[in-house]
């Protein structure tokens, strides 16, 4: 255990939100078990059948609306408040980090509570569940789509650039609840490690990142991360 000094970056993945009951992307239930998410979360699927795509996202939004931040979300908000140079990068789209109090959040894959007009480009928040109209429409009459990154789409350039910069200059990087398989997010810890950052992995099992980690915390993030942060705070 070392005293945390210098810039700190945290990268979170689906494992953090799964502890709050958020269904994982590839684990849909009920009506959607006959569909492959990869066949629904694409620009082509939306162009082909926006009603079907929005029915799936409306279902996901209803499930997420009942979820609450867990201790891992809350302790990361505490870390942000306590550390002068702290960046939280997430692959999650559920907004639970913000609900827990985190303010500086880089959302690599967008946010399921935002919508974007396919005609005028307007982006706004829409937390109505269930949606009164499927597919929803913008005031301009254009179709709205979830403001998330679909398969075949690039990540938001400005967000990704800021994430690369944060990873390159940090002295500490925590990788929490991510499989370390999805690119380009999986490369962020590698960049941090190559630039001399201390790399800490928090996960229930080994990942491709495990051999690079300076410290490995095994177990649910909601259990092990608060204990680890409490120990750091005492140093």
Which listed residue (73, 97, 109, 193) is catalytic?
109
- Find residue 200's DSSP bridge partners: 174, 215
Cβ atoms of 179 and 13 within 8 Å: the answer is: yes
The helix (H) or strand (E) run that includes residue 218 is strand 215-218
The β-bridge partners of 198 are 172
User: Which contiguous run of DSSP H or E holds residue 58?
Assistant: helix 50-65
Residue 109 catalytic? yes
Q: Which two tokens stand for residue 55?
A: 């029915």
SS3 88: strand
Number of CB atoms found within 10 A of residue 128's CB: 12
**Which runs of E-coded beta strand occur in 46-184?**
86-90, 105-107, 110-117, 123-125, 144-148, 172-176
Residues carrying an active site annotation: 109
């Amino acid at each position: 255990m070392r005293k945390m000094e210098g810039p700190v970056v945290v990268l979170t993945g689906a494992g953090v939100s799964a502890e709050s009951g958020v269904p994982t992307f590839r684990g849909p239930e009920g009506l959607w078990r006959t569909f492959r998410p990869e066949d629904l979360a694409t620009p082509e699927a939306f162009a082909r059948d926006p009603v079907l795509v929005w029915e799936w996202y409306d279902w996901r939004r209803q499930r997420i609306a009942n979820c609450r931040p867990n201790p891992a979300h809350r302790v990361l908000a505490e870390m942000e408040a306590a550390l002068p140079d702290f960046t939280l990068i997430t692959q999650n789209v559920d907004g639970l980090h913000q609900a827990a109090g985190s303010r500086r959040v880089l959302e690599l894959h967008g946010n399921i509570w935002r919508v974007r007009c396919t005609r005028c480009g307007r982006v706004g928040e829409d937390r109505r569940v269930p949606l009164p109209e499927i597919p929803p429409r913008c005031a301009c009459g254009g179709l709205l789509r979830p403001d998330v990154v679909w398969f075949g789409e690039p990540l938001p350039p400005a967000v990704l650039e800021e994430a690369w910069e944060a990873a390159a200059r940090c002295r500490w990087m925590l990788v929490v609840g991510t499989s370390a398989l999805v690119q380009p997010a999986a490369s962020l810890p590698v960049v941090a490690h190559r630039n001399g950052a201390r790399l800490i992995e928090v996960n229930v099992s080994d990942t491709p990142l495990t051999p690079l980690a300076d410290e490995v915390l095994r177990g649910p993030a909601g259990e092990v991360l608060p204990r680890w942060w409490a120990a750091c705070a005492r140093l």
